[in-house]
Amino acid sequence: MHAFQACTSGENLKILDLHLYLELSSSTKTLQLIKSLMLSAMPPLTRARQTGRDDEQVAAATGNGREEGWLMQVVRILQLVNPALMAKEAIIRAMGLVSISGQTPHGEMEKIPKDVLSSITHIKKLSNSNWHTWEPTFINCLQRVHNAKEILYGIIAPGSEEYNEDLDKALVGLIHACCDNSPDSCIDTYTVRGADEEVQLGSMLYAKLKKALTLNDAVKRAGLQDHIHMVCLHNRDIVRLGKELDSIWNDAAHLRKRFDKDLKKSTLYHCTAQDWFYANTIDALKTAKPDCEYDEAYHTLAKKQQDGKISGHIRGAARVAVSAEQGDNNQAEQGPRGRCDPCNPSAPPKCYTCGGPNHITHNCMNNNMTQEASH
Q: Is 45 inside a domain boundary?
A: yes
Among 25-34, 155-164, 274-283, 311-320, the range scoring the smallest mean pLDDT is 25-34
Specify the higher pLDDT residue, 19 or 146: 146
Task: Judge if 21 and 101 occupy the same domain.
Answer: yes
Per-range mean pLDDT, top range of 80-94, 285-299, 315-329, 352-366: 285-299
Q: Report d(CA 58, CA 53) in Å as an integer.
A: 9
Q: Is 282 inside a domain boundary?
A: yes
Task: Judge if 228 and 297 occupy the same domain.
Answer: yes
Q: Report d(CA 261, CA 297) in Å as an integer.
A: 12
Cβ pair 339, 364 in contact under 8 A: no
Per-range mean pLDDT, top range of 50-64, 116-130, 143-157, 280-294: 280-294
Residue 191 has pLDDT above 60, yes or no: no
* C-alpha Rg value of the chain to the nearest Å: 46
Q: What percent of the chain has pLDDT over 70?
A: 47
What angle separates helix 65-81 from helix 87-101, to the nearest 10 degrees?
A: 130
CA angle 272, 275, 279 (to 5 degrees): 75
Q: Is 95 inside a domain boundary?
A: yes
pLDDT in tens, 62-98: 344 444 455 677 777 777 777 777 777 777 777 666 5
Which of 82, 105, 128 delimits the end of a domain? Answer: 105
Which of 153, 185, 213 delimits the end of a domain? Answer: 213
Total length of the chain: 375
Q: Among candidates 234, 318, 171, which has minimal Cα distance to 242?
A: 234
Task: Judge if 88 and 183 occupy the same domain.
Answer: no
Which of 105, 126, 151 delimits the end of a domain? Answer: 105
Task: Judge if 57 and 69 occupy the same domain.
Answer: yes
Q: Is 24 inside a domain boundary?
A: yes
Query: How many domains does the chain divide into?
Result: 4
The pLDDT assigned to 245 comes to 92
Q: Report d(CA 188, CA 171) in Å as an integer.
A: 13
43 phi/psi in degrees, rounded to 5 = -65, 155
Task: Judge if 241 and 165 occupy the same domain.
Answer: no
Q: What percent of the chain has pLDDT over 90?
A: 1
Task: Judge if 359 and 293 occupy the same domain.
Answer: no
Q: Is 318 inside a domain boundary?
A: no
- Answer yes or no: pTM beyond 0.95: no
Q: Report d(CA 36, CA 156) in Å as an integer.
A: 32
Task: Judge if 7 and 95 occupy the same domain.
Answer: yes
Q: Is 192 inside a domain boundary?
A: yes
Task: Judge if 351 and 373 occupy the same domain.
Answer: yes
Task: Judge if 31 and 95 occupy the same domain.
Answer: yes
Residue 187 has pLDDT above 50, yes or no: no
Task: Judge if 30 and 62 occupy the same domain.
Answer: yes
Task: Judge if 88 and 127 occupy the same domain.
Answer: no
Among 91-95, 205-209, 229-233, the range scoring the smallest mean pLDDT is 205-209
Q: Is 96 inside a domain boundary?
A: yes
Task: Judge if 129 and 207 occupy the same domain.
Answer: yes
Q: Is 324 inside a domain boundary?
A: no
| Domain of residue 355, residue span | 337-375
